[in-house]
C-alpha cells in the first residue's frame, strides 16, 4: 500500500519544465557552459533525458556524447578550439585579414557575415 501512495504522489506532482530549458533562443552553437549545465541537469534532474533534450532541441545522442566527454574530461572536454566555436574562429580570421588590409593601405572589401 505504501508504495502505491508514493507512486500516486510522484504522478500528481507538478513539474516546472521551464527551469529545465537551458537556452530559449535557438542558435547554431552551444557554448561549453551551456553544455555543462544541460549535462548536469540530465544527471541530476527529475525528468527523463529525452524530455530534457526535447525542451532544449538537442538529440538524445548528442546529449549522451556531451555527457561522455564531460565525464572523461570535464568542461574542457566540451570545449573545442580553446573554448571557441568554429564560427568564432572564422570571424576572428576575417577580422585579422581586415586589420592587415587596413594597415597596409589596401582597399578594403566589404565582407558579409
- pLDDT tens for 19-46 read 777 766 666 678 888 888 999 999 987 8
Find the domain containing 13 and state its range.
2-79
Q: Which residue has the higher pLDDT, 65 or 18?
A: 65
The verdict on pTM exceeding 0.85 is: no
Evaluate if residue 4 carries a pLDDT over 50.
no
Q: Count Cβ atoms within 10 A of the Cβ of residue 22 and give its class: 0-12 exposed, 13-18 middle, 19 or more buried.
A: buried
Q: Answer yes or no: is 51 within a domain.
A: yes
* Secondary structure percentages of the chain, helix, strand, coil, to 5: 65, 0, 35
Asked, for residue 48, whether it belongs to a domain, the answer is yes
**Structural domain contains residue 49:** yes
On whether residue 12 sits in a domain, the answer given is yes
103 in any annotated domain:
no
Residue 50 has pLDDT above 90, yes or no: yes
Q: Residue 101 pLDDT more than 90?
A: no
Asked if residue 101 belongs to a domain, the reply is no
Amino acid at each position: 500500500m505504501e508504495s502505491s501512495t508514493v507512486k500516486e504522489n510522484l504522478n500528481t506532482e507538478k513539474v516546472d519544465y521551464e527551469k529545465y530549458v537551458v537556452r530559449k533562443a535557438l542558435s547554431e552553437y552551444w557554448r561549453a557552459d551551456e553544455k555543462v549545465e544541460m549535462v548536469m541537469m540530465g544527471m541530476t534532474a527529475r525528468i527523463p533525458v529525452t524530455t530534457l533534450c526535447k525542451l532544449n532541441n538537442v538529440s538524445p545522442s548528442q546529449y549522451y556524447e556531451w555527457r561522455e566527454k564531460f565525464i572523461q574530461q570535464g568542461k574542457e572536454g566540451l570545449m573545442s578550439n580553446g573554448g571557441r566555436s568554429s564560427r568564432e574562429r572564422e570571424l576572428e580570421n576575417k577580422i585579422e585579414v581586415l586589420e592587415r588590409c587596413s594597415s597596409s593601405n589596401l582597399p578594403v572589401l566589404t565582407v558579409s557575415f
